[in-house]
Structure 1
Amino acid sequence: MKKFIYLFLLSVSFQYNADAQPASTDKNKVMDFFQNQQFEEAVNYLTPAATIDSQNIQLLGYLGYAHYMDDNTKMAADYFRKIIAINPDNISALQYLAILTKNDKPDQALQYTRRLIYLQPDKAAHLRSMGELFKRKDKQDSAFVYYNQAYILQPKDFKNGVGLADILIDNKKFIRADSIIESVLEQDSVNIPFLKLRVRSAYIAGDYQNVRIPGERLIRLQETSLSALTQVVVAYFNLKLYTDCIRVCEYLIAQGYAVENIFYFEAKALARIKQFDKSNELLKTCINLSISKEAEMYYYNLGINYEALRQYKKAIAQYDTANYLFKNPIMNFNSGRIYEINLKNMQQAQKYYTKYLALAKPVEADEKKAYQYLKERWGKKKPVAHKK
């Protein structure tokens, strides 16, 4: 948290002249304000002096820093720009401006960072910052160039390794990414950022077996990264290790991540081990959390579970709800199939099949085949007469 970062190098970095400290300000008093995090008081103390001595870089730097630490980013940027107007090569002012503009004005941040690289070409932090800016702009090739240069300069700085490995994974260059990651984990097997990267690399590569070890280490370290551990959940599910999938889901839920995706995968895993009632409860939780497009999958899986339990009317109710909310004709097909095959109610089967045939536009080969079969069998038939 930036409030606790000591930046008292400002007394050197922003100093234009060692003897330029105005008589109207006391450097020790300014440092006391900063150390006690009295940034508003520092602003009130320094502003009159800066108004009189508007070319004093040290005063402008103090005010920029005080506003920055007080979360007044606009005023902070204004003071740092005043410094740049006086001295375009002031490193500290350029660094702050690059930080202050990287989210809202990334093109300006690129200019400031490019100037820093020109002034300090061998400083890996500037190269890494440039890589981050290009990555945010989705310019992967440029991002790679700068992350790679930063890593070459300082391979032992883990931030450089993280940045380069991350961009390599994005570009699916898994061999080099894994080489960087493993070189760190060999020295520090509990390095959380690199464990997350190892999970991500293996997951994106579809190498689910190699998700397991770093994933379990993250859990033992009580790490709660939703992104990384969701990948662990999916990996266990795809490996058909359903009890492990459920265990990781329960861990995330216990850590406060009661989100749809986790409940959904736990529900699917429970269904695979025939615990349909528990699965249904979690699917209902998913539905309650969000009636969205994803809810169609939840209703659909509820229907499948009820079919497996031979509770056919409940299964049809789920398909009906899904069809009502999302207008997917395949749900009518599912209901018709149950009425035809399981409940032997041909009148209701024809009702649902007719709705399906009227609206369906099959794309997949299997559905096209089923559609043609239904059209031939049910499409031209007259409704079954009601029994008197």
Structure 2
Amino acid sequence: QLIKLIMKKFIYLFLLSVSFQYNADAQPASTDKNKVMDFFQNQQFEEAVNYLTPAATIDSQNIQLLGYLGYAHYMDDNTKMAADYFRKIIAINPDNISALQYLAILTKNDKPDQALQYTRRLIYLQPDKAAHLRSMGELFKRKDKQDSAFVYYNQAYILQPKDFKNGVGLADILIDNKKFIRADSIIESVLEQDSVNIPFLKLRVRSAYIAGDYQNVRIPGERLIRLQETSLSALTQVVVAYFNLKLYTDCIRVCEYLIAQGYAVENIFYFEAKALARIKQFDKSNELLKTCINLSISKEAEMYYYNLGINYEALRQYKKAIAQYDTANYLFKNPIMNFNSGRIYEINLKNMQQAQKYYTKYLALAKPVEADEKKAYQYLKERWGKKKPVAHKK
């Protein structure tokens, strides 16, 4: 990651030094290019903005100054200001490649239609640039326009088949379209040269899994595990493939690997529970199924059940209110729900036996913190804590 960051910085600096040139003499004497580069190299982007802004205000048509400011804001995570400066460049020179590239990047998530327009312009200006075609393919894929995405990914791959990003993009869209033969040929051609290429191993797993060819999930899946890869999507497909192949111990092993890597998610526990049941380890299976139940229910659900109980109390539908509190207590083990049920049985339903049952549970588990609850707890302890169970009335 550090190497990538360093390379990214130097690539940006290179682009800045060559791409925003409009007129070498246009830079005002009040700005020192070397000083600007020092700011960038030291990642002092806010200082660069403060230094450049006055000059750009005076010379608002200077593309190099606008480019510096756009870059400084971009690296300072002020994407709105960055886009504003790059748009100013486009207004002066609609064919400025670097400004178009930045705008395509800055708009691809929030304004994909604008990103399409900028990328189209880039393709018009540089029709043989595979990166632009690949970017257009990505944009169409995000818009779920599979046919258009395929056209551009395919063109990018034809132009530069050895660029693995083009191969990844094309193979991915081919798998989406269930064109497994060509997708696999692209994937295998790379894996023959580089058997530990993680992006293509993931694609091989996905292709075989979607095609229902579970046997061919095994080899790339095991390679990913040996490489300590932790892609939840790919390895979940390996888990399901092993289960469908009735290789239950392998299924359990991959589940345990994912859990050890921090992926303690419902789906993984579920398949491990199913595999354990198939080898008759029912107690372990049940424990994992209980974990699945806990994971599948949002913590916020406790508040929803609690408020349902309050509403039913207001409507004097006391049994329904108690049912909501009981559900909340069963799922989330909050003793205050037992207090609420006991209160209803005592005050509203006049059923002292049931009230004592709930109060006893509350007193055994409650650890009150708030002053009001401490007061109620002490009251219940004095009144109910030493009482003998109420005899059932015949």
- Residue 169 to residue 321, structure 1, CA distance change in 2 (3 Å): farther
347, 350, 359: which one aligns with 2:353: 347
Secondary structure of the residue that 2:12 maps to in structure 1?
coil
Contact 2:128/2:159 (8 A) holds in 1: yes
Deviates most, 47-56 or 319-328 = 319-328
Listed one character per residue, the Cα deviations across residues 266-297 of structure 1 (whole Å, up to 9, x for unaligned) are: 11111110011111111111111122799999
Query: What is the aligned partner in structure 1 of residue 65 from structure 2?
Result: 59
Deviates most, 319-328 or 366-375 = 366-375
Secondary structure of the residue that 2:230 maps to in structure 1?
coil
- Residue 256 of structure 1 and its aligned partner are, at CA, apart by 0.5
Query: What is the aligned partner in structure 2 of residue 107 from structure 1?
Result: 113
Secondary structure of the residue that 1:42 maps to in structure 2?
helix
- Residue 34 to residue 372, structure 1, CA distance change in 2 (3 Å): closer
Listed one character per residue, the Cα deviations across residues 77-127 of structure 1 (whole Å, up to 9, x for unaligned) are: 000000000000000000000000001111100000000000000000000
Listed one character per residue, the Cα deviations across residues 280-320 of structure 1 (whole Å, up to 9, x for unaligned) are: 11111111112279999999999999999999999999999
- Residue 213 to residue 128, structure 1, CA distance change in 2 (3 Å): same
Listed one character per residue, the Cα deviations across residues 42-88 of structure 1 (whole Å, up to 9, x for unaligned) are: 11111011001100000000000000011100000000000000000
- Residue 332 to residue 14, structure 1, CA distance change in 2 (3 Å): same
173, 198, 201: which one aligns with 2:204: 198
Note the residue ranges of structure 1 that are not aligned, 5 or more in a row.
Answer: none
Query: What is the aligned partner in structure 2 of residue 73 from structure 1?
Result: 79
Q: Distance in 1 between matches of 2:376 and 2:177?
A: 40
- Residue 20 of structure 1 and its aligned partner are, at CA, apart by 2.0
Contact 2:15/2:98 (8 A) holds in 1: no
Contact 1:267/1:278 (8 A) holds in 2: yes
Q: Distance in 2 between matches of 1:364 and 1:154?
A: 67
Contact 1:271/1:305 (8 A) holds in 2: no
Matches within 5 A, 1:223-372: 223-291=229-297
- Residue 71 to residue 370, structure 1, CA distance change in 2 (3 Å): closer
- Residue 23 to residue 322, structure 1, CA distance change in 2 (3 Å): closer
Contact 1:264/1:298 (8 A) holds in 2: no
Contact 2:312/2:320 (8 A) holds in 1: yes
- Residue 12 of structure 1 and its aligned partner are, at CA, apart by 1.1
- Residue 223 to residue 368, structure 1, CA distance change in 2 (3 Å): farther
Q: Distance in 2 between matches of 1:300 and 1:152?
A: 61
Deviates most, 15-24 or 297-306 = 297-306
- Residue 107 to residue 376, structure 1, CA distance change in 2 (3 Å): farther
- Residue 73 to residue 316, structure 1, CA distance change in 2 (3 Å): closer
Contact 1:2/1:69 (8 A) holds in 2: no
Q: Distance in 2 between matches of 1:309 and 1:219?
A: 57
- Residue 363 to residue 48, structure 1, CA distance change in 2 (3 Å): closer
Q: Distance in 1 between matches of 2:319 and 2:377?
A: 23
Q: Distance in 2 between matches of 1:369 and 1:234?
A: 53
Q: Distance in 1 between matches of 2:95 and 2:266?
A: 51
Contact 1:33/1:42 (8 A) holds in 2: yes
- Residue 6 of structure 1 and its aligned partner are, at CA, apart by 3.8
**Matched residue pairs, number?**
388
- Residue 21 of structure 1 and its aligned partner are, at CA, apart by 2.1
Q: Distance in 2 between matches of 1:53 and 1:42?
A: 16
Note the residue ranges of structure 2 that are not aligned, 5 or more in a row.
Answer: 1-6
Contact 1:319/1:331 (8 A) holds in 2: yes
Q: Distance in 2 between matches of 1:302 and 1:272?
A: 40
- Residue 3 of structure 1 and its aligned partner are, at CA, apart by 6.4
- Residue 132 to residue 341, structure 1, CA distance change in 2 (3 Å): farther
- Residue 327 to residue 142, structure 1, CA distance change in 2 (3 Å): farther
Contact 1:3/1:69 (8 A) holds in 2: no
Q: Distance in 2 between matches of 1:384 and 1:175?
A: 75
- Residue 355 to residue 63, structure 1, CA distance change in 2 (3 Å): closer
Deviates most, 327-336 or 110-119 = 327-336
Deviates most, 314-323 or 154-163 = 314-323
Contact 1:286/1:298 (8 A) holds in 2: no
TM-score by length of 2: 0.75
Secondary structure of the residue that 1:9 maps to in structure 2?
helix
- Residue 159 to residue 352, structure 1, CA distance change in 2 (3 Å): farther
Deviates most, 361-370 or 166-175 = 361-370
- Residue 228 of structure 1 and its aligned partner are, at CA, apart by 0.4
Percent sequence identity is 100
- Residue 221 to residue 33, structure 1, CA distance change in 2 (3 Å): same
- Residue 363 of structure 1 and its aligned partner are, at CA, apart by 52
Contact 1:128/1:163 (8 A) holds in 2: yes
Contact 1:287/1:295 (8 A) holds in 2: no
- Residue 141 to residue 356, structure 1, CA distance change in 2 (3 Å): farther
- Residue 54 to residue 91, structure 1, CA distance change in 2 (3 Å): same
- Residue 12 to residue 252, structure 1, CA distance change in 2 (3 Å): same
- Residue 375 to residue 166, structure 1, CA distance change in 2 (3 Å): farther
Q: Distance in 2 between matches of 1:270 and 1:318?
A: 34
- Residue 108 to residue 322, structure 1, CA distance change in 2 (3 Å): same
- Residue 8 of structure 1 and its aligned partner are, at CA, apart by 2.7
Matches within 5 A, 1:78-89: 78-89=84-95
- Residue 358 to residue 277, structure 1, CA distance change in 2 (3 Å): closer
